[in-house]
Structure 1
């Protein structure tokens, strides 16, 4: 890792060293911008064994993918601080970001790529198998469970759509309805497709990965149902404390909360861009990478215009 002073100035501070942050950093560094990436080393997809739908790197372990991206960024002069941003404020030159370890980053522009937190259903055993046999994305993990018995925990309305998506991958889907009403039209679709619907409270999930036991309780007792994998629908909560400190307002949809952005990842806070899951809860690795590149290009374009205006002012003053 490149040595970075405790108080460092740069063109762009990138908060978050995941796919979006690294891609944005590389795009900026290739335009000869000075970039510092602040990364706490806690990628959201760390529990998963492989990253999928990444063209040319299909099936690569998430940490290996990030390590390769970090090496590429360092090759272009990007500097890294293994730390966490805890406080941000605006100053005359741009932004001042204070880190947990005491370092300070002074940046003209900021790229927020801090990702999100998955708020999982409060069911014992779910978190222990999260990212392996407890899943949420059919495009990330569906191929690996094709043809197997897949359970869907129906704790949120989006679980109904999840059941249909996973039915494309396997004929054996069981929806565990919990605090959820299945509309008549959807119930008819389920019957036609052979999706089993079970009512009752899911009390716990146990067993080994790939051989789960879902304990379903009712007024007359409980029963264990064996499934190969269990699909859940988390609430996606953006890691956006810095954005809020700078006056930003989060948006929310059926999936969760996020930083709203316009073209190129620009936010409503001047000088601040966002990319990846912090701005798009549904973005997979490849989409986050693309968003990071676009944000990097947009930030560079903004700085180019700022530099041109400053050059004109300097020239006028000299005359």
Structure 2
């Protein structure tokens, strides 16, 4: 594993990737195989670091997410990709003309890297409700994705802690994995009768009181305490934290943003291109609901798109240079 940059060239990087999770590593692998000079700057805080096992990822079922990242770094390194373990604080367009291909990337220690293009794959932080014991069980018995964790808690007593309207979708999904499901609606506001009838028709219990504490020891969850002091026994609880994208370092670029069902994120097209033609973004930082396979695919697509853009730019530059060389200069003109 590389922990520092060994390439001493003074030339700008072809691409700098901020974030070394699955999206960033997938992009790095594509670009490394395309013979690009690539730098990955990673702060070492992947979103799924709280989980010991990763599920629903073809070929990697049940492995430690950290192991996938170790393997991914090794794969990318084999094609010359360099790594720097650091946090990026600021990205600026210093080309004089936005998008012409000169960006400056500054890390927390003041180091500056020049790059022709950039891919942001920094992910998000899940901001959980301020409930005692909730964050302590995050990734073990407090979970967020039925497809990622539903099989492991099938047929057990499951709860859904509502924090947004998306919780109604989540609780209906979970009924597929267990017939013992309780919906804690205290944080999301009153439910209308139609919703109550719909959930009740599938045997989902509704608790209107607010949850004030999650009870358990170590990897074992015992239940939740309600505001009246009563306890509801459950074995696992699903909830959704408020996603906080790690994109503040791009504020100087004034990129276009868009509001979605999970918050405000940088606007990108189908291959991750932002409103700056030298900047791409992929993975959870722009798609908070994306699971590991989706983030990997998005990173791979972004990497290929960056290479294609650089290929086009290199040809454009070559054509311009050839035209200048063929143009007559004042010294070569013959006097009339």
TM-score range, shorter chain: over 0.9
Q: Which residue of 1 aligns with 2:6?
A: 4
Report the 3-state secondary structure (helix = DSSP H, G, I; strand = E; otherwise coil) of the residue aligned with 2:309: helix
Unaligned 5+ segments in structure 2 are: 96-100, 327-336
Runs of 4+ in 1 over 4 A off after TM superposition: 5-8
8 Å contact kept, 2:29–2:79? yes
Aligned twin of 1:212: 222
In the aligned structure 1, how far is the partner of 2:103 from the partner of 2:274? 15
- Provide, for residues 143-167 of structure 1, a one-character-per-residue CA deviation record: whole Å limited to 9, x for no partner: 1111000011123221111111111
Work out the CA distance in 2 between the residues paired with 1:22 and 1:199.
Answer: 44
2:163–2:241 contact (8 Å) kept in structure 1: no
Which has the larger displacement, 13-22 or 88-97?
A: 88-97
Match of 2:287 in 1: 280
Distance in 2 of aligned mates of 1:275 and 1:40? 17
SS of the equivalent of 1:68 reads helix
Q: What is the distance in 2 between the residues matched to 1:98 and 1:232?
A: 36
Higher strand share: 1
Look at both structures and tell me which one has the larger radius of gyration over its CA atoms: 2
- For 1:143, the equivalent position in structure 2 comes to 151
Number of equivalenced pairs: 316
Report what 1:160 is aligned to.
168
Kindly indicate whether the alpha-carbon contact (under 8 Å) linking 1:39 and 1:82 is maintained by their aligned counterparts in 2: yes
Q: Structure 1: how far apart are the matches of 2:276 and 2:135?
A: 35
Counterpart pick for 1:314 among 313, 321, 334: 321
Q: CA RMSD in A?
A: 1.5
The answer to whether the Cα contact below 8 Å between 2:157 and 2:234 also exists between their aligned partners in 1 is yes
Matched, 1:295 2:305: no
* Alignment-derived partner of residue 181 in structure 1: 190
Q: TM-score, normalized by length of structure 2?
A: 0.91
TM superposition score normalised by structure 1: 0.95
Answer yes or no: is the 8 Å Cα contact 1:236–1:257 preserved in 2: no
Choose the corresponding residue for 2:212, options 198, 203, 210.
203
Match of 2:56 among 53, 56, 65: 53
